[in-house]
Amino acid sequence: MFGFYRLAAASPELRVADPAFNGEKIIEAALTAERHHAAAVVFPELAVSGYTCADLFHQPVLLDKSLETVIAIANATAQKNIIIITGAPFMFRNAVYNCAFILQHGTVKGIVPKIFNPNYREFYEKRWFKSGRNIRNMEVSVPGLDYNVPFGTDLVFESGRAFKFGIEICEDMWTVIPPSSCLTIAGATVIFNLSASNELVSKAEYRRQLVEQQSARCICAYAYTSAGVHESTTDLVFGGHSIIAENGRTVAENERFHRDSSLIYADVDCARLLNTRISESSFADAELPENMQFRYVKMGKVNTAADLKYTTITQHPFVPQDQTVRDCRCREIFSIQAAGLAKRFEHTGSQKAVLGISGGLDSTLALLVCAETFKLLRKPASDIIAVTMPGFGTTDRTYNNAVKMCKLIGADLREISIQAACLQHFKDIGHDLKVHDVTYENVQARERTQILMDIANRERGLVIGTGDLSEIALGWSTYCGDHMSMYAVNCSVPKTLIRYLIHWVADSSGEKLCSVLEDIIDTPVSPELLPNTKDAAVNQLTEELIGPYELHDFFLYHCVKYGAPPDKIKFLAEKAFAGVYTSEIIVKFLKLFFKRFFAQQFKRSCIPDGPKVGTISLSPRGDWRMPTDASVAAWLEKM
């Protein structure tokens, strides 16, 4: 559903050289994975026979019984949709191959031989198996089957546009150019690895890194599973390690050394992987070696899992859930912002930073970045000109917080009321003061920007923009008002992350500044452009007008980063915000998001310079190039 597929990795109980027993355990695990709606389940290398059979692999009894068991597994699961990938020895012509058998609907869909057989230290696979390197474009007759089976290392198995998979076996992944690199170039979005990797001190961590790195390099899902503790312990111990990674991140992993059968699951987004390949990397430039062709094996219908039980759809995709990771991310973002601004000051020779300070989140973060930048440049904080410009909607809370913060930081605080200037402007253009429309609001925003620009000219300064990524996406700014600056430090920081950045700074600040920053974090978001009520309460809450920023940031992330269509975004949002927002609310603001995102592109086409800090930026000079007159109709139809 929407490109999600549930993968399973199994490491079952085993008896060495007892295919009948092993087959029963494989069937048992496969049926369990089927009940969990897995599309495919992978078993360890030589799971049918056992990996540690050694010279018994030369015995026809073991070879014949292993093949008989593979067919029995296929027959036992013939009425199921699950794809089974299991390891077994296979004799072809005058050699034995270490193979993966791909089974579905009672049929052996393909046989993939291992390419790299290790022959060092404790491994002597070349004694028993031949490399399948040259097995390509071939079909074989399998005893017990009345049809020929595709055989070779050139097989890609496909079920739909997004779910295509390839196979590599253990050592194949550890080589200089793993087969999975070519398989993914050929279209595979999932790689299954059947392994029998023994346990050594620290080897598990290295193994995990290999899986993560290969899944990142190939922009794929990678399901790895290894032989377990019931293999022979003559000289080695196997831990039954299973890992599922998705584009560089482990999404499921078991505990090693389990005595019972182990099964892990992960719901991976193959559609997202495809989109990432075409939009965020040079993946498409990778080419297969000359004369390397692949065959595509059609699979039958596979299971789907609408519940997405085995994945995490976070409400705040821009914000790491782990506090340690989040703090590290905040430190890095803050450093990028300050480094970018410092370079701009060095290049322009500007003397002062000039910014409007409202007591809101965005201007607070911009001021903190300026303070950090001036520390880097060994300039006094007094060279930061922070201008508070009370208007018709300014509240005591935001005003007092702005004043306190500027004084504690040591900035040059200046107060310039915009009311008289705006009243004069209303008179000049013939606008009724009682009409609180967009003109009423934008006059104030443009007046503030004019003041900042003029101060910057007089003081040889730079006007520092405060607008954030969420506002840029929605066009929630006044054209040539707060939309414009000389350098915009927050331009790729989303609203949901700004609170955490300020909190991170607060944690390392003095008690008084920390208290002010925490109160700013707790203040409702408002442009404060409309007159307040008698009790001085905020009369204009942004999120009541355009919807919750956490929803819009969620929409932005999945739309821009992964190209998810609106119906998929709705599906994901309903999962992520279950119990928080109704489906009706999600659809309402999703429509608003797309309408504004398309309609407000003209503002993004001429935004100021500013540093990219995350994987999403809407700069027209790099990350996002969109015609200003593109129609949103097709997207609205997908709701």
Calculate ∠ Cα 167-171-172, nearest 5°: 40
Strands across the sheet with 352-356, in order? 412-415, 384-388, 352-356, 461-465, 487-488
Q: Which of 80, 109, 114, 561 is catalytic?
A: 114
Q: Which of 170, 218, 220, 270 is catalytic?
A: 170
Distance of CA 614 to the CA centre of its chain: 11
What is the Cα–Cα distance from 278 to 263, expressed in whole angstroms?
33
Residues near 244 by beta carbon (within 8 Å), at least 6 away in sequence = 7, 9, 221, 222, 223, 224, 250, 251, 252, 253, 264, 265, 266, 268
What is the Cα–Cα distance from 47 to 101, expressed in whole angstroms?
11
Q: Which of 13, 45, 125, 528 is catalytic?
A: 45
Position of tokens 């707790």? 522
Rg from Cα positions in the chain: 31
Extract the tokens encoding 25: 């355990």
Positive or negative, the Cα torsion across 459, 461, 463, 466? negative
The question of whether 544 is a catalytic residue gets the answer no
Burial category of 55 from C-beta neighbours within 10 Å (exposed 0-12, middle 13-18, buried 19 and up): exposed
- Smallest CA-to-CA distance from 278 within 190, 211, 189 is with 189
Query: What distances in angstroms separate CA 424 from CA 299, 391, 414, 447, one per listed residue?
Result: 73, 13, 22, 11
Positive or negative, the Cα torsion across 81, 87, 91, 92? positive
Residues near 168 by beta carbon (within 8 Å), at least 6 away in sequence = 115, 178, 179, 180, 183, 191, 192, 193
The question of whether 114 is a catalytic residue gets the answer yes
Q: Centre a 10 Å sphere on the Cβ of residue 535 and count the other Cβ atoms it contains.
A: 5
DSSP annotation of 494 reads -
Contacts by 142-145, CB closer than 8 A, 24 or more apart: 142/67, 142/71, 142/108, 142/111, 143/64, 143/67, 144/67, 144/68, 144/71, 145/71, 145/108
SS3 618: coil
Distance of CA 279 to the CA centre of its chain: 13
H-helix segments, 396-437 = 396-409, 419-429
Extract the tokens encoding 610: 């500013």
Extract the tokens encoding 10: 């199994």
What is the Cα–Cα distance from 402 to 394, expressed in whole angstroms?
11
Helix (H) or strand (E) holding 107: strand 107-113
What is the Cα–Cα distance from 604 to 628, expressed in whole angstroms?
9
The question of whether 170 is a catalytic residue gets the answer yes
Question: Helix 495-507 crosses helix 549-556 at what angle (to 10 degrees)?
Answer: 110
Distance of CA 423 to the CA centre of its chain: 49
What amino acid is encoded at 179 in this protein? Answer: P
Q: Which residues are catalytic?
A: 45, 114, 170
